[in-house]
Amino acid sequence: MGERLSGGGVPGRRRGSDGALSDPRNERDAATLETVLAAALRTGDLDPQAEQRAVAAFRASHGEGTHRAARTRRRDDWRRPEERRARRPVKMTFGVVFASLTLGGVAVAAIGSVSTSTHAGGADRGTTHPSALAPDRPGGAPSSASSLGSRPTDGPAHAKDTEAHCRAYERVQGHGKALDAKVWKQLVAAAGGKAEVAAYCSEQLTRATATPGRSAGTGRSGEGAADAGNGAAGKTGASGSNTGGTGNTAGKTRAGGGQGGGKHK
């Protein structure tokens, strides 16, 4: 057996190598040795019965469905490294994406839950705010409006009074005690002195005529105050719904994260 195979391969390899003690000859020798060894040890005659047994075992395993159910262990994976590497990035990418999605989802969920809890408070605040304001509004809005805009509410009334006093002052100017002493005192107090009353009144009257809307609106100062109160309430209501809106978006984001995580599972 060995003779036959080496007879086929060895002389061809060895031809022309005689006498040369060089590396090529050593390499040829090494190659020759391997060829001869392989030929001598890889005996060709196989036992047909052994093959039949192997095939029968294969048939049995395949028939039982063992092959399809079998999981590839690490020691069963003999794909080339580049092939395995080519697949691993896909797996790893999936893993990384999945992990980031999961962690991100958890983070978003955590943020969402925190923010929804705060926003739930905020939303509560947002919802309770107008309702807290609403009972306030009948009595409270004017009070708050008056407290906030005591000058606007008080102002028009006061300005109206001052205006009237000034007109009266103009009319009665120089005529002694035509003005009520009390009103006169108020006017003097507002002007900051008897000497200032004329200047103060001319200023007041000029302003009153320059802004007729205001002077016209002074007649409905109460309504204006109510409007102001409504405006304030509307504004806070809007901000309340705004915070509610952010709460909603946070909830949506969390739901989205949850869906994302669920999808990628």
User: Which chain residues interact with another protein by CB under 8 A?
Assistant: 1-3, 6-7, 10-11, 14, 21, 23, 26-27, 29-44, 46-47, 50-51, 53-55, 57-62, 66-73, 75-81
As a whole number of angstroms, the distance between CA 149 and CA 143 comes to 9
User: Following DSSP, what letter does each residue of 117-168 receive, concatenated?
Assistant: HHHHHHHHHHHHHHHHHHHHHHHHHHHHHHHHSHHHHHHHHHHHHHHHHHHH
Q: Closer to another protein at the Cβ: 65 or 212?
A: 65
Minimum distance between the CB of residue 14 and another protein, rounded to whole angstroms? 7
Q: Closer to another protein at the Cβ: 34 or 223?
A: 34
Minimum distance between the CB of residue 98 and another protein, rounded to whole angstroms? 23
As a whole number of angstroms, the distance between CA 201 and CA 165 comes to 8
In this structure, which amino acid lies at residue 204? Answer: Q
Minimum distance between the CB of residue 88 and another protein, rounded to whole angstroms? 13
Q: DSSP code of 43?
A: -
Q: Closer to another protein at the Cβ: 53 or 194?
A: 53
Q: Closer to another protein at the Cβ: 6 or 243?
A: 6
Q: Closer to another protein at the Cβ: 60 or 114?
A: 60
Name the CA dihedral angle for 227, 232, 234, 239, rounded to a multiple of 10 degrees.
170
As a whole number of angstroms, the distance between CA 169 and CA 187 comes to 9
Minimum distance between the CB of residue 41 and another protein, rounded to whole angstroms? 4
Minimum distance between the CB of residue 89 and another protein, rounded to whole angstroms? 17
3-class secondary structure, 47: coil
